[in-house]
Copies of this chain bind each other. A is one copy, B any other.
Amino acid sequence: MEILDMKRAAELIEKRSFAELKAALGEMMPADTAELFGELSEKGDSFSEKELTLMFRILPKDTAAEVFTFMDNDMQVTLINAFSDRELKAVLDELYLDDTVDIIEDMPANVVQRILKNADPEKRKQINELLKYPEDSAGSIMTTEYVYFRRDDTVFEAMERIRAVGIVKETVYTCYVTDRKRLIGSVSLLDLVVADDDELIENVMDSNVLSVPVHEDRESVANLFSKHDLAAVPVVDNEERIVGIITFDDIMDVMREENAEDIARMSAISPYEEGYFKTGVFRHAGNRIVWLLVLMLSATITGFITGQFEAQIAAVPLLVAFLPMLTGTGGNCGSQSSSMVIQGMAVDEIRPKDFFAVILKELGIAGICSTALAAVNFIRIMIFYHDPVIAGIVSVTLIGTMVLANLLGCVLPMAAKKLKADPAIMSAPLLSTIVDSFSTLLYFSIAMAVLK
């Protein structure tokens, strides 16, 4: 399959070769078409909103809405503003409910109002319902478009229902069986296909069905999907009544976003919503500067400690030469253990009950690593400086620093989790700053005790 590139698309529009453009667009995957729109819009003034709207209008009817869902926010707003009410309604009718809600969540208020105005009343009600769920909850990523049967429906009736509702999305591959709205089982489309037409649903359904509460955190839902290899999971309210379903495609997005969020937090960056390029330089700077300031000012504590030992430094200036290695290694150890623990907690491998097992493990690791590094370090200093006293001071400090760094690296993230904060905050940058102070203090204290 050939992908229409930006240059060729621009050419075709300029030449007004719409038939050719339409044919070429018809052969592209919706996500690629959406990307093409994005690239064209970035070309700026040579390619105006008018031309983009025009290009959207010649998209094949059956894929236009899908292309729309793959577009980024700015492009969607641009198009909605260019649409007539009728056009907007046509696109909205084709959109899946969960996609509509995703789109609305990031839109300016006036656009949201226009969308709600043009949605049909039933859909509007459902959209408003879905918008109420807190961000990051199961409710916020579910869709209310799913198929359900009663236990005394026949397979034939069930298949007729599927054909009738006309949802053409993954959401029908698992259907649910309810009894007065309460979830009592699930049945896959494949089960229906292989079953006899007059078989009752209750005989083909699987009554072992997992579900998630509507307020469950979406990261936990993602862990559940991945643990059980799920394609979909029903979402239930407090009374175990099914209110929607979540499908794997939304979960893949959640996994990506949560991962990006963790990596950002672990690097002392406030999580950002849009992509790297979509986010402006000032916004990027804003996301980074607060932590930089906090950490910079915390680092002055280490500076302050160093300042207290000015006399010692003046007397034995060589001492300063080993400080970067000590603080650096402490930071690296803290970074290693905290990232293991943060990642382990994110995928639900490390749980609160494992607290002491993790501490023991990290102490063991710190013991092995610090002994080895201290030995290498002792030999190195002896070779280059022939000073067993300094070598000893540095090596002992190294062991103390590494043990503490590994300990804090696991304790702080677990404590953050306990306090309902994001463990990822307690990662390398903050840890390094804390460990720096400690190792500096320990180093000069030992040096003072030994050398004076």
Q: Which residues of A contact B (CB under 8 A)?
A: 1, 27-31, 159, 162-163, 166, 168, 170, 172-173, 189-190, 193-194, 208-210, 225-229, 231, 248-249, 251-253, 255-256, 259-260, 262-264, 266-269, 275-277, 281-282, 284-285, 288-289, 291-293, 295-297, 299-300, 302-304, 306-307, 310-311, 313-314, 317-318, 320-325, 327-329, 331-333, 335-336, 338-344, 347, 349-350, 354, 357-358, 361, 364-365, 368-369, 372-373, 376-377, 380, 428-429, 432-433, 436, 440
Query: How far, in Å, is A142 (CB) from chain B's closest CB?
Result: 16
Residue with the greatest number of chain B CB neighbours at <10 A, chosen from A300, A311, A342 = A300
Are B208 and A1 in contact, CB atoms less than 8 angstroms apart? yes
Are A428 and B335 in contact, CB atoms less than 8 angstroms apart? yes
Are B264 and A429 in contact, CB atoms less than 8 angstroms apart? no
Are B248 and A231 in contact, CB atoms less than 8 angstroms apart? yes
Given contacts A228-B30, A320-B313, whether A328 and B288 have CB atoms under 8 Å apart is: no
For the complex with contacts A267-B335, A277-B354, A282-B368, 13 further pairs of A-B residues with Cβ separation under 8 Å are A31-B228, A168-B190, A252-B252, A260-B343, A262-B263, A263-B266, A267-B339, A276-B349, A288-B365, A289-B373, A297-B376, A300-B325, A307-B321
CB-defined contacts of A318 to chain B, threshold 8 Å = 307, 310
Task: Please list 16 pairs of residues, one from A and one from B, whose beta carbons are closer than 8 Å in the complex, sorted by A's number.
Answer: A27-B208, A170-B173, A173-B190, A189-B189, A248-B248, A268-B332, A276-B340, A276-B344, A282-B368, A285-B372, A289-B368, A292-B329, A292-B369, A296-B325, A297-B380, A302-B325
In the complex, A227→B335 CA distance in Å? 31
Nearest to A281 among chain B residues (CB) is: B364
Are A336 and B285 in contact, CB atoms less than 8 angstroms apart? no
In the complex, A170→B314 CA distance in Å? 72
Question: Which of B172, B320, B336 is within 8 Å of A268, CB to CB?
Answer: B336
Are A365 and B329 in contact, CB atoms less than 8 angstroms apart? no
In the complex, A121→B313 CA distance in Å? 76
Question: Which of B229, B289, B295, B377 is within 8 Å of A249, CB to CB?
Answer: B229
In the complex, A439→B238 CA distance in Å? 57
